[in-house]
Amino acid sequence: MPNDSHVAVRNARDMLQDARHIAVLTGAGMSAQSGVPTYRDAQTGLWEKYSPEQLATPEAMANQPNLVWSWMLYQARLMRSVEPHEGHKILGAWQQELNNSGGSLEIITQNIDDLHERSNAEVLSHLHGTTFTFRCFECDVPANYELPPATPEQLAATPELDQLVLEDPPACTACTHGFIRPDIVMFGEMLPQQAMDDALRAVRDADVALVVGTSNIVQPAATLPLAASAAGAQVIEINPKMTPLSEDADISIQGTAREILPELYP
């Protein structure tokens, strides 16, 4: 259940000092402090302003591939333009330290950016895919496509849809009729099974599950802390707000990833 913040941080640090295998589950709140918009926050959330059905479903991409591709490119360029914060960097250093000593820190993320990777961390499981890998919309073959650098004009402001400069998605080189798409999970699609299997294995093998910046309402990711607890792991939550997990976590710390993770690093 929630604790006084100072006491909670001290107890969490003690708990983590003894842990040899840590599973870290990160959500939108982890990336928000680097400047990546969350999805449903009032006014700033992407899907508070734009319809997911119009921009992020397979049906939308089939019907208007240039609109969906151009909007996803805008998001990818925005993600690439921001920098990892101190919390990301701590996880990268912590992972390397544990790996070098025979332990493990496995990162499972719901985020589609590459901020963990740019902090020298290896991500075990991108549950919702990643904006920076691509595959064919028709034949699913991976595509060797590199995101072009963004110009300042492309990042000046969140565009209205009728202001987007539309770009056609590149053609697939593996088939004769397809075009490529980011390898992300669109609304209405299933999570990649291997990513979920890897995540479940990691939380079940963990001594401690660290749940950072996630609302704990999006399924099936919200089941992972419960699976960790059921397998005997202690669960630490970091979030500025209470979530459905807060009462069940062993320790719940109300704070941001950027503020709290450096305090927890042993």
Q: Which of 33, 39, 45, 18 is nearest to 90 (CA)?
A: 33
**What would the two tokens of residue 122 be?**
């290896």
Specify the pTM.
0.90
Annotated active-site residue in 85, 126, 128, 177: 128
88 catalytic per annotation: no
pLDDT at position 42: 39
Residues 51 and 170 in one domain: yes
Across 138-202, the runs of DSSP E, i.e. the strands, are: 142-143, 180-184
Q: How many domains does the chain divide into? A: 2
Q: Domain of 23?
A: 1-36+84-128+191-266
Residues 90 and 150 in one domain: no
Residues 148 and 239 in one domain: no
Counting Cα atoms < 13 Å in the Cβ hemisphere of 3 gives 17
Task: Dump pLDDT digits (tens) for 73-118.
Answer: 888 888 888 999 999 999 999 999 999 999 999 999 999 999 999 9
Task: Dump pLDDT digits (tens) for 195-205.
Answer: 999 999 999 99
